[in-house]
Amino acid sequence: MTESETEKVYDCTVIGCGPAGASAALYLARAKLKTLVLDKSPSSGALASCTRIENYPGVPDSLSGAELIERMRRQAERFGAECERAQVLSVTLDSDPKQVITADEVHKAWTVILATGAMDRRVKFPGEERLLGRGVSYCATCDAAFFEGKECALVGDGEEALEEALLLTRFAAKVYFVSPKRELRGPDDLVQMVEEYPKIEVIKGAMVSEILGRESVEGVKLASPDGKEMTLAVHGVFLLVGGGAPTTGFLANALPLGEGGCLVVNHEQATVVSGVFAAGDVTCDHVKQAVIAAAEGVMAALAVDKHLNRRKSIRMDYR
């Protein structure tokens, strides 16, 4: 391996920048380990959606979850962590170094910490699984080009959905932005851009009741809270609505999953694959509190340090 190739390999890639991922990155960077953090959207996590937090230790004044996450991220960056906004599409964990694939790049690292949270949906819409890959997609960044000149629907309401809708307009003839909520969530300038964009029609307060089509998507049926229904004739349906299931879809079969789709880890947050760790809501038996997710992120970082330096036990450091 040449020196230039070596420089491209991180000591650890952290996927996700909620309380677990940000805390892991802080400890890794402070230990002078070359650390990359990949996060698809600052506003897409469970903590970021909280409008008021008053019980996080050491933070006496109430603040929003997004503000708390931003503080954690800046602190990690201050010690040298590199934070990049990118959606992870797939991983190769049985290689050495391991590979984390985004839409634009293949990132290499000797270890990986999975801190992707639990925002996936457990219950699928009628027609979703049958038409997945045949017009149904979860990623406009990945699949928008397949819908050149066609009409599509994108279902979601957060910052990630807003950005994906704008990206989709580069290819689609028209985009129906279907929001389950009455108001769109995200930065004001981004919301305004989506609401005023000529190729986007915003439909608020509606949810998918069925995705229609035989061999491929032919339309989507929507229902509003007052019982009214409408059908959109579209060729693509992009689903960016969340739930409470662990976010593990990008792993494919790289790791075994526990009950409910969570990642099983030991007392050091290690998975069954050497050099791969997990922390926060994505793990099994996790109590969904920000401070606990942060603690698990710290434990994962200390375990990474132990793994890379081939120590027999985790090094204690209270400073």
Of the residues 239, 262, 294, which one is the last residue of a structural domain?
A: 239
280-310 residue pLDDT tens: 999 987 788 899 999 999 999 999 999 999 9
128-154 residue pLDDT tens: 989 988 999 988 887 899 999 999 999
Of the residues 239, 260, 292, which one is the last residue of a structural domain?
A: 239
Residue 127 forms part of a structural domain: no
The tens-digit pLDDT sequence of the chain (319 residues) is 444 444 689 999 999 999 999 999 999 999 999 999 999 877 677 777 777 888 889 888 888 888 999 999 999 999 999 999 988 999 999 999 999 999 889 999 999 999 999 877 778 899 998 998 899 998 888 789 999 999 999 999 888 899 999 999 999 999 999 999 888 988 899 999 999 999 999 999 999 999 999 999 999 999 987 778 999 999 999 998 877 789 998 999 899 999 888 999 999 999 999 999 999 999 987 788 899 999 999 999 999 999 999 988 887 665 6
**Looking at the structure, do residues 26 and 84 belong to the same domain, yes or no?**
yes
Dump the DSSP string for the chain. Answer: --HHHHHTEEEEEEE--SHHHHHHHHHHHHTT--EEEEES-TTSSTTTT-S-B--STT--S-B-HHHHHHHHHHHHHHTT-EEEE--EEEEE-SSSSEEEEESS-EEEEEEEEE---S-B-SSPPTTTTTTBTTTEES-HHHHGGGGTT-EEEEE--SHHHHHHHHHHTTT-SEEEEEESSSS--S-HHHHHHHHH-TTEEEEES-EEEEEE-SSS--EEEEE-TTS-EEEE--SEEEE----SB---GGGTTSS-B-GGGPBP--TTSB-SSTTEEE-GGGBTT----HHHHHHHHHHHHHHHHHHHTT-SSPPP---
Of the residues 222, 239, 256, which one is the last residue of a structural domain?
A: 239
**Looking at the structure, do residues 19 and 113 belong to the same domain, yes or no?**
yes
Residue 154 forms part of a structural domain: yes
Identify the CATH number of the domain in which residue 41 sits: 3.50.50.60
pTM for the model: 0.81
**Looking at the structure, do residues 264 and 231 belong to the same domain, yes or no?**
no
State the pLDDT at residue 5. Answer: 47
Query: How many domains does the chain contain in total?
Result: 2
Question: What is the domain extent for residue 224?
Answer: 136-239
